[in-house]
Chains A and B, each alone.
Chain A
Amino acid sequence: MSLVVQNITKRFSDFAALNDVSFEAQPGEFLALLGPSGSGKTTLLRLLAGLDRPDTGRIDFDGLDYLTLSARDRRVGMVFQSYALFRHMTVAQNIAFGLNVRPSKDRPSKAEIQATVQRLLKLIQLEDLGKRYPSQLSGGQRQRVALARALAINPRILLLDEPFGALDALVRKDLRRWLRRIHDETGVTTLFVTHDQEEALDLADRVVVLKDGQIEQIGKPLELYRHPQSAFVFDFLGTSNQVPANLSDGIADFGGFSAPVVSPKALNGAQTVRFRPFDTHLHHEGPGFEAKVLSLLPAGANLRLELQSPTGQVFETQHAHDSEASDLRLNDTVYLRPSKVYAF
């Protein structure tokens, strides 16, 4: 059972929401669709659910031509950012909905439906709340109910559209783990749309990075992080500092100091290179990019610094609490040397 998306294009009047998008999802895989707003990820999800039709291309699932099936018949479980729970139904009725609306010949018996609902309530750890209404639940609980409702129809694919977007940071993190666990238990092929790179990298087996309706890169989280194929992917996955450099033979020369270059292709000559906040060292004397300490903030296990060069450029760097950066004060002058840079 695998999902094959081939050469999908979708235009809205003269705006190409998706342009020749192709990818596959293996059975039971957890795939994240990552991109900024307007990158086409929600459009892609709507096409998969059958809520819209692509202009060209194919969508197959396990040999089944999905484009010939209506949204009703695709058996796609969908979870929305707004939860979209039926507000006039109890939690149990919400979960049972997909079973209750089946034509009578396919409909399980009342007892079977009841049993499914109980099993799912247990799975989402809301066993005692079956009789509550959605308005009596917290955001996190609602989203769990929405997931149970989608799972009740035994979906071929699970589509989640920014499911945690409306929740606060702590609940998000909690639900993320929980979602991953549910996925591992149920083994449903899952597509997860998000604009939050941390969420995508944390959750997914593979990440599809979208930009302006096109796929920028597909890969496992670590692969993506270590070997970004484009400046966009690099910038999107984390904080990026940019400086000019002279490249030759995999070394970036900054005039007096240098750093090794990671790049998808061999580049030479004057280029803009990028580096991460944690791939840096600070020194009290040059050579290095001269900068003043603008702010010093604790960021979890690290110390986060904002530095400003005499020309006004702001660098963001990260260092261990017990590193050379720990003695620095505001407005101190330091010399910044990247230890590794990326070029595209």
Chain B
Amino acid sequence: MRARAPERPKTPAAFLLMALAAVWMALVIVLPLVNVLAEAFKQGVQPYLSAIVQPDALSAIRLTLTVAAIAVPLNAVFGIAAAWCVTRFDFAGKGLLLSVLDLPFTISPVISGMVWVLLFGAHGWFASVLEASNIKIIYALPGLVIATVLVTLPFVARELIPLMQDQGTDEEIAAVTLGASGWDVFFRVTLPNIKWALTYGVLLCTARAMGEFGAVSVVSGHIRGLTNTLPLHIEVLYNEYDSVGAFGAATLLAGLALVTLVLKTLLEWRFGDELAANRRH
């Protein structure tokens, strides 16, 4: 059953609250966004364009997309596996697993980056092994990917668990008794039932992966044109007082975020009922 629809505001207090919310939103979201655009185009369109096509900016975009393209599928697979385990089986330590799953939400991303430096850095636990086999993790793409994976770990799983809990196992059991193999059960029954929640989780995960700053900053080493993702690139330019460059790159990141937001809104509009059960964070 649906909750009663909210009424239109009638009292002065209600109007006041709405006005407050609107002013606040304008102040903390719209104003900064407008400022980003204003700064980016401060010297006209031409400097803006040349700022975003300079080689370092392009390489930052490429790196950001590469990291997201590796980290997001990994977390999608992990998310499905974790949700499957948690909702289909009862085992000791299930509560612990669920808590650990939320850890990336609660700890600072800087720490999520530092743990990897501790493990794989020049003085880390595995330093000698890595050096001997000539594998670079920190200050290289693998480091960026694992830092991003850790930070974006919960998004897909958190989206799927409530839905799969809600749907139960009856359909899967029915499929097995009808002669379906494990493969058939997953691809013909489980996956179609969770596909929209999965898409939604992947979208959130992607947005977070592209915007990640803290963890990535620790493991990146800020090598221009090599290990700078878009958020890091923006910071570097900003610190060098290249405000057109910094805000130009920022418009790209904001653009990626807006695309994600539009897709997310479309999904919510089209499959709102299916996703409604999942709003937990």
Q: Is A35 an interface residue (CB 8 A)?
A: no
**Contact assessment for A101 and B184 in the assembled complex, using a CB-CB cutoff below 8 Å:** yes
**Contact assessment for A153 and B179 in the assembled complex, using a CB-CB cutoff below 8 Å:** yes
What's the nearest-Cβ distance from chain A to residue B185, in Å?
A: 9
CB contacts under 8 Å to B, within A225-258, are none
Q: Is B176 an interface residue (CB 8 A)?
A: yes
Residue among A50, A73, A77, A86 making CB contact with B175, cutoff 8 Å: A86
* Residues of the A chain whose Cβ atoms lie less than 8 Å from the Cβ of B178: 97-98, 101, 149-150, 152-153
Q: Which residue of B lies closest to A88 (CB)?
A: B192
**Contact assessment for B168 and A102 in the assembled complex, using a CB-CB cutoff below 8 Å:** no
* Residues of the B chain whose Cβ atoms lie less than 8 Å from the Cβ of A51: 173, 176-177
A94 to B171, CA, bound (A): 11
A274 to B181, CA, bound (A): 53
Q: Which residue of B lies closest to A80 (CB)?
A: B170
Q: Is A78 an interface residue (CB 8 A)?
A: yes
Q: Is A265 an interface residue (CB 8 A)?
A: no
Indicate whether A71 sits within 8 Å of B175 (C-beta atoms), given known contacts A80-B170, A84-B170: no
What's the nearest-Cβ distance from chain B to residue A342, in Å?
A: 40
Residue among A77, A87, A88, A102 making CB contact with B177, cutoff 8 Å: A77
Q: Is A5 an interface residue (CB 8 A)?
A: no
**Contact assessment for B168 and A88 in the assembled complex, using a CB-CB cutoff below 8 Å:** no
Residue among A82, A87, A150, A153 making CB contact with B193, cutoff 8 Å: A87
**Contact assessment for A78 and B174 in the assembled complex, using a CB-CB cutoff below 8 Å:** yes
Indicate whether A82 sits within 8 Å of B168 (C-beta atoms), given known contacts A72-B179, A72-B180, A88-B192: yes
CB contacts under 8 Å to B, within A200-240, are none
**Contact assessment for A78 and B175 in the assembled complex, using a CB-CB cutoff below 8 Å:** no
The SS class assigned to the B binding surface is helix
A260-288 interface code vs B (CB 8 A; 1 in, 0 out):
00000000000000000000000000000
B65-94 interface code vs A (CB 8 A; 1 in, 0 out):
000000000000000000000000000000
* Residues of the A chain whose Cβ atoms lie less than 8 Å from the Cβ of B170: 80, 82, 84
* Residues of the B chain whose Cβ atoms lie less than 8 Å from the Cβ of A50: 177
A49 to B179, CA, bound (A): 11
Q: Is A336 an interface residue (CB 8 A)?
A: no
**Contact assessment for A101 and B171 in the assembled complex, using a CB-CB cutoff below 8 Å:** no
* Residues of the B chain whose Cβ atoms lie less than 8 Å from the Cβ of A87: 171, 193
Residue among A74, A77, A101, A152 making CB contact with B188, cutoff 8 Å: A101
A153 to B180, CA, bound (A): 11
A75 to B177, CA, bound (A): 7
Q: Which residue of B lies closest to A159 (CB)?
A: B177
What's the nearest-Cβ distance from chain A to residue B169, in Å?
A: 9
CB contacts under 8 Å to B, within A14-39, are none
* Residues of the A chain whose Cβ atoms lie less than 8 Å from the Cβ of B111: none
Q: Is A120 an interface residue (CB 8 A)?
A: no
Residue among A80, A86, A102 making CB contact with B179, cutoff 8 Å: A102
**Contact assessment for B174 and A88 in the assembled complex, using a CB-CB cutoff below 8 Å:** no
Residue among B171, B177, B189 making CB contact with A49, cutoff 8 Å: B177
Known A71-B176, A98-B178, A101-B184; 7 more pairs at CB < 8 Å: A72-B177, A76-B177, A85-B171, A87-B193, A101-B179, A149-B174, A149-B178
List residues of chain B with CB under 8 Å of any chain A CB. 168, 170-171, 173-181, 184, 188-189, 192-193
| 6 contacts across the A-B interface (CB closer than 8 A) | A72-B181, A82-B170, A88-B192, A97-B175, A98-B178, A101-B188
